[in-house]
Amino acid sequence: MNSLRIARAALRVRPTAVRAPLQRRGYAEAVADKIKLSLSLPHQAIYKSQDVVQVNIPAVSGEMGVLANHVPSIEQLKPGLVEVIEESGSNKQYFLSGGFAVVQPGSKLSINAV
C-alpha cells in the first residue's frame, strides 16, 4: 500500500516526466543523411570516404543494409556481393571473398576486404 501512495505522490509532483512521449527516429530521418564509405582492398582503395546512400553487405550473421545513423558495429563478412547505392542512384556491386565491416559513429562505414 505504501508503494502505491509513493507512486501517486510522484505523479502529482512531476506529471510531465511520466506522460512525455517517447522520441523515436523515423525512417525518413534515417535516410536523410549520407554514409562516408571507405572500401579498401590490399592493393587499392575503391572508395575513400565518399558519400553514398546505402551499402548492403553479406555479414556472417546475415545480410545487412547500412544507412546513415546506423548503430555502431563490427561485422565479419562472408563471401558475397557488396552493393553500393550511390547518390546519383546508380548501383555498383563488388564480389568480396571475406573481410570486415566497421560501422562507426557519425555515419562512417569502413570495409576491409581480403
Q: Where are the alpha helices (DSSP H) in 21-113?
A: 27-30
Take residue 18 and report the three cell numbers written for it: 511520466
- pLDDT value of residue 101: 96
Which residue in this structure is represented by grid cell 547505392? 85
Give the DSSP H/E element, type plus range, for residue 28: helix 27-30
Give the pLDDT of the chain (114 residues) as one tens digit per residue: 576 676 676 666 655 555 555 555 555 454 458 999 999 999 999 999 999 999 999 999 999 999 999 999 999 999 999 999 998 889 999 999 999 999 999 899 999 998
- pLDDT value of residue 114: 86
Take residue 76 and report the three cell numbers written for it: 565479419
